[in-house]
């Protein structure tokens, strides 16, 4: 379980700087950073090396699930490496992930290459359910991400 990893590649008909901004700006994160059936309740982001971020995913029953982390490396608009912990209702870490997002642009198309790896599990019995759904959760979340980018490009993404 500690070595669970997902990788995705997505293309957007949008400038790299815009795609990077949608990825890192809390205003935009509120639109997309949660899988289907969840919404983002709160989000803050300081996208610079050493900056912190946090967001809550709100479940259909109203329960908030928080993720908090630090940007380990930010090279705007090319790369973001972040380390985050998903915490339980008592603010105790359940598991930790390392996420790398790379953004390249060619001919008006930005390619996002993203990987996320579980690097620590503090509460295995609780965390296993979230980790088991990580790939599908990201698949759904990236559909929302694409919609957020498209909304800012006038429907061209």
On whether the CB atoms of residues 150 and 20 are closer than 8 A, the answer is: no
pTM for the predicted model, two decimal places: 0.93
Residue 89 has what pLDDT?
81
| Domain count for the chain | 1
Residue 63: count other Cβ atoms within 10 Å of its Cβ. Answer: 11
Residues whose CB is less than 8 angstroms from the CB of residue 116 and which lie 6 or more positions away in sequence, other chains included: 5, 6, 7, 97, 98, 99, 100, 134, 138
Domain assignment present for residue 94? The answer is yes
| Closest CA relative to residue 97, chosen from 133, 124, 121, 73 | 121
Q: What is the pLDDT along the chain (157 residues), one digit of tens a residue?
A: 556 999 999 999 999 999 999 999 999 999 999 999 999 999 999 999 999 999 999 999 998 999 999 999 999 999 999 999 999 888 899 999 999 999 999 999 999 999 999 999 999 998 888 899 999 999 999 999 999 999 999 865 5
Measured distance CA(142)–CA(120) in Å, rounded: 24
Within-domain flag for 96: yes
Domain annotation covers residue 35: yes
Helix (H) or strand (E) holding 52: strand 52-58
Distance from C-alpha of 88 to C-alpha of 81, rounded to nearest angstrom: 23
Give me the CATH number covering residue 83.
3.30.530.20
Q: Is residue 124 part of a domain?
A: yes
Helices 134-152, 124-132: crossing angle, 10 deg rounding: 50
In a domain, 31, yes or no: yes
Residue 157 lies in a domain: no
**Chain centre to alpha carbon of residue 84:** 10
Its domain, for residue 49, covers 5-152
């Amino acid at each position: 379980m500690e070595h669970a990893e997902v990788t995705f590649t997505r293309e957007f008909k949008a400038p790299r700087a815009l795609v990077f901004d949608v990825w890192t700006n809390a205003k935009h994160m509120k639109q997309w950073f949660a899988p289907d059936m969840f919404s983002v309740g709160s989000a803050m982001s300081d996208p610079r090396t050493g900056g912190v971020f946090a967001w809550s995913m709100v479940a259909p029953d109203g329960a908030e699930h928080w993720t908090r982390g630090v940007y380990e490396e930010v090279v705007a608009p090319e790369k973001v490496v972040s380390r985050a912990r998903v915490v339980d209702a008592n603010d105790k870490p359940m598991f930790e992930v390392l996420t790398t997002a790379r953004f390249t642009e060619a001919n008006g198309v930005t390619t996002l290459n993203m990987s996320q790896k579980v690097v620590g599990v503090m509460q295995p019995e609780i965390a296993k359910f979230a980790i088991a759904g990580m790939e599908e959760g990201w698949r759904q979340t990236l559909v929302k991400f694409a919609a957020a980018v498209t909304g800012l490009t006038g429907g061209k993404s």
